[in-house]
């Protein structure tokens, strides 16, 4: 990332819309998927209400300013995703139809066939309370032993059968981000859950989740998030059987062809970098 910009729109002394933009460089040390691209990292605005009926006008002005900023960077591709600085919020959730409509009016498309690093998929977010998850049980395979280590995405609890790694689960308990998001102090999410294909459908995943739930209780965690794609039928069935419920579906990966046309000036002011 070589440049960033945060824009905010104000109405009657109140911030009603904001967006954060990123620009990636053209050097060889920038990954090919990111090279010479710009993205709308996140966009938020108040939906219209009886007491604030013209917030969409401010959001529209903000969108025009965003497009002007993207044009000024003169990159090959424009992309968008929803990644606000808050865990568990990605893409454009189905509860934000006003954000989706604004993006579509601006020419951004959510499609499985974008050909970009944002693959245009729909992600399902699921939530479980720790007390509803399975309790630790005896290993489902004789000789299976539990270990714990630092994983790629949090604490890893794994099952070993002799020297064979049968499966593992990783849980991230740092969603509160050092106290900056105190309301998420009791939340964690599953970074990885994997069982070797030769040992699937033998209770290993359920056993691992039970072990992770017990460890999370010691960490005073009471909510656990996980994510899946609609096509991941077996994974979704497992999570629902374990006690997870669907929280939302979120559209990830939006693209738009760059447009060099000029836009009119709008009443939008730069905000501090996020």
- Per domain, the residue ranges of the chain are 3-121+253-271, 128-251
Does 128-251 match 3-121+253-271 at the fold level?
yes
Q: What is the CA radius of gyration of the chain?
A: 22
pLDDT along the chain (274 residues), means of 10: 93 94 93 91 92 92 95 93 78 93 93 55 93 92 96 95 97 70 77 95 96 93 93 94 94 85 46 49
What is the per-residue pLDDT for 86?
72
What is the per-residue pLDDT for 102?
94
Residues in the chain: 274
Report the C-alpha gap between 257 and 149 in whole angstroms: 45
Phi-psi region of 238 (alpha: psi -120 to 50; beta: other; left: phi over 0): alpha
What is the per-residue pLDDT for 33?
85
What is the per-residue pLDDT for 264?
42
| DSSP E strand stretches across 24-94 | 37-45, 77-80, 92-93
Question: Which of 24, 10, 6, 121 lies closest to 73, judged by CA?
Answer: 24
What is the per-residue pLDDT for 257?
87
What pTM did the predictor assign? 0.81
What is the per-residue pLDDT for 262?
44
- Range 128-251 has CATH code 3.30.70.2190: no
Q: Which CATH superfamily is domain 3-121+253-271 in?
A: Gcn5-related N-acetyltransferase (GNAT) (3.40.630.30)
Residues 190/171, Cβ–Cβ less than 8 Å: yes
Question: Which of 168, 12, 4 lies closest to 85, judged by CA?
Answer: 4
């Amino acid at each position: 990332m070589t440049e960033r910009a945060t824009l905010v729109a104000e109405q009657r002394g109140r911030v009603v819309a904001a967006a954060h933009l990123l620009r990636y460089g053209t050097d060889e040390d920038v990954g090919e998927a990111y090279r010479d691209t710009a993205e709308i990292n996140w966009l938020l605005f108040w939906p219209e209400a009886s007491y604030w009926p013209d917030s969409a006008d401010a959001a529209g002005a903000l969108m025009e300013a965003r497009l002007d900023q993207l044009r000024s960077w003169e990159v090959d591709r424009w992309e968008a995703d929803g990644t606000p600085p808050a865990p568990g919020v990605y893409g454009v959730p189905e509860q934000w139809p006003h954000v989706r409509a604004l993006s579509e009016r601006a020419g951004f498309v959510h499609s499985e066939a974008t050909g970009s690093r944002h693959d245009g998929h729909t992600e399902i977010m699921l939530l479980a309370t720790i007390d509803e998850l399975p309790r630790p049980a005896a290993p489902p395979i004789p000789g299976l032993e539990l270990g714990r280590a630092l994983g790629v995405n949090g604490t890893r609890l794994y099952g070993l059968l002799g020297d064979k790694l049968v499966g593992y689960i990783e849980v991230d308990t740092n969603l509160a981000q050092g106290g900056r998001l105190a309301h998420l102090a009791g939340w964690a999410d599953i970074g990885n859950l994997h069982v070797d294909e030769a040992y699937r459908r033998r209770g290993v995943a359920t056993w691992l989740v039970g072990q992770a739930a017990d460890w999370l209780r010691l960490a005073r965690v009471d909510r656990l998030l996980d994510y899946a794609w609609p096509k991941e039928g077996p994974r979704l069935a497992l999570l629902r059987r374990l006690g997870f419920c669907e929280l939302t579906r979120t559209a990830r990966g939006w693209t738009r062809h760059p447009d060099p046309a000029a836009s009119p000036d709008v009443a939008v002011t730069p905000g501090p970098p996020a």
